Amino acid sequence: MTAVEGQFGWVLHRRPWRESSLLIEFFSLEHGRLGLVAKGARSARSSWRGLAEPFCPLTASWVRRGEMGTVTGLDPAGSRLSLVGRALWCGLYANELLLKLVERDDPAHGLFQAYGEFLVDLADKGALAPAVRRFELALLGSLGVAPDFEHDAQEGQQIRPDQLYHLDPDSGFIPAGQPGPTIYPGDAVLAMAGGAPDGHEMGPECRRMMRQLIDHQLAGRRLESRRLFENLTHGTGA
């Protein structure tokens, strides 16, 4: 059995278990993503009641024997971030990507930092799209599957802003002669090389590009957060 004390992190997902407990997916700096049982956390008398929620910075302690750990301590590490509307959807989308694409027990300090910065960006109600693109880029980089956004995959030449490129998720960007569903302007590729700056005119192309890359990693797995967002935008006429 191993005991871990006072680890800072975030709840990615939680669901009821038995009469008054929770099963939690926790994302921590030193231990990566792991599964925890919070016994009695839904009880009216529990000091943990209402704490194990997404977007609330926490410090957690646990003991572990086998795949799942058991929570022994849970304390707030700051105020819960207020995410509403599209910002909330973006947060749920990021959480779902971490759950589906990041293996348990695989610490990724850079990705953990990027996730925290991403949540702060959402709470600050700034430009959402560039924040999402930056997080997606950090995720792909952490997984070791991000393409080279500065050089083509054919001859290693510098990406040209006036050239079209076919994106092969496994190899990278290949010069192309005409538009198509997997073809992107060099301007958009270079925008991602620069971290998807705010208000960039290539924003829609960057979104399409990153969706192709993320979908390749999902390998057919459906994102519930996308379905929810599609229903939201359909209902509002957006």
Predicted confidence at residue 233, as pLDDT, reads 59
Least confident stretch, 111-115, 158-162, 214-218, 226-230:
226-230
pLDDT of residue 66 exceeding 90 = no
| Tokens found for residue 155 | 């001859």
For range 172-201, the mean pLDDT: 89
Q: Which amino acid is at 52?
A: A
For range 168-186, the mean pLDDT: 96
pLDDT of residue 22 exceeding 90 = yes
For range 87-92, the mean pLDDT: 94
- In the predicted model, what is the mean pLDDT of the chain? 92
Confidence of residue 236 (pLDDT cuts 50, 70, 90): very low
Residue with token string 């700056």: 197
Predicted confidence at residue 237, as pLDDT, reads 33
Predicted confidence at residue 235, as pLDDT, reads 41
pLDDT of residue 138 exceeding 80 = yes
Residue 237 class from Cβ within 10 Å (0-12 exposed, 13-18 middle, 19+ buried)? exposed
pLDDT of residue 51 exceeding 70 = yes
List domains and CATH numbers for the chain: 2-76 (2.40.50.140), 86-236 (1.20.1440.120)
SS3 content of the chain, % helix, strand, coil (to 5): 35, 25, 40
Predicted confidence at residue 199, as pLDDT, reads 65
Helix (H) or strand (E) holding 193: helix 186-193
Predicted confidence at residue 61, as pLDDT, reads 97
CB 234 within 8 A of CB 161: no
Confidence of residue 107 (pLDDT cuts 50, 70, 90): very high
Confidence of residue 232 (pLDDT cuts 50, 70, 90): low
Q: What residue ranges in 142-204 does DSSP mark as E strands?
A: 164-168, 172-176, 183-185
